[in-house]
């Protein structure tokens, strides 16, 4: 089933909420754990963070493929061109960031000599020797993309609330599975 103006497909809704909620949790945990002192709790959190990050990457990759095959969401109603342009830009940034964050996290981890867990089934690495340029580059991208993603998600939520509370056009209801 494809997305329509009246209703999003169950796959679109599932991808949206699975990736969205997981990314928000990963951002919160990421901000929390970076300030923790070294120790068992911090190491455990990093392990869960990496595992969730690689898992969300796989889901996000399927989401990007789905979005490519299905096209961008059709607006619930007509609205000014600048709002459509902003919404499209935010959607593309969200898609890019949901792939860039886990990739940069994997580069950071692998480059600094740590394994990358895949679905809790096996690990990639660790490398025989650290790869500083990969770890440092991954760290730089992961840090700044994380802050950018917080801003992009904020714009996305503000836009959804604007559509729901001010425009009352059913945009949010569609993402909750309702039909217009």
pLDDT value of residue 148: 94
Q: Using DSSP, state whether 83 is helix, strand or coil.
A: helix
Q: Is the pLDDT of residue 58 over 80?
A: yes
Token pair listed for 166: 């001010």
Compare 76 and 59 and report the one with higher pLDDT: 59
For the stretch 103-139, pLDDT in tens is: 999 999 999 999 998 888 899 988 889 999 999 999 9
Our measurement of the distance from residue 57's CA atom to the centroid of its chain's CA atoms, rounded to an integer in Å, reads 8
Rounded mean pLDDT of the chain? 91
Helix ranges (DSSP H) in the chain: 10-34, 40-70, 81-111, 132-161, 171-175
Can you identify the CATH homologous superfamily of domain 10-175? Transmembrane di-heme cytochromes, Chain C (1.20.950.20)
Token pair listed for 19: 């990736």
What is residue 23's DSSP assignment?
Answer: H
Q: Is the model's pTM score more than 0.95?
A: no
């Amino acid at each position: 089933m494809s997305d329509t103006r009246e209703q999003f497909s169950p796959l679109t809704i599932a991808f949206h909420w699975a990736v969205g909620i997981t990314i928000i949790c990963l951002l919160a945990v990421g901000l929390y754990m970076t300030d923790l002192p070294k120790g068992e709790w911090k190491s455990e959190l990093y392990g869960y963070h990496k595992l969730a990050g690689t898992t969300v990457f796989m889901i996000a990759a399927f989401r990007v493929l789905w979005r490519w095959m299905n096209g961008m969401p059709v607006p619930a109603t007509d609205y000014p061109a600048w709002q459509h342009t902003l919404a499209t830009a935010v959607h593309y940034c969200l898609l890019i960031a949901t792939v860039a964050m886990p990739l940069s996290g994997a580069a950071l981890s692998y480059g600094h000599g740590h394994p990358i867990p895949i679905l809790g089934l096996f690990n990639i690495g660790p490398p025989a020797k650290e790869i500083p340029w990969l770890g440092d580059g991954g760290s730089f991208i992961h840090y700044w993309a994380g802050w950018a993603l917080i801003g992009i998600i904020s714009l996305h939520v503000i836009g959804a609330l604007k559509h729901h509370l001010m425009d009352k056009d059913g945009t949010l209801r569609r993402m909750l599975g309702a039909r217009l």
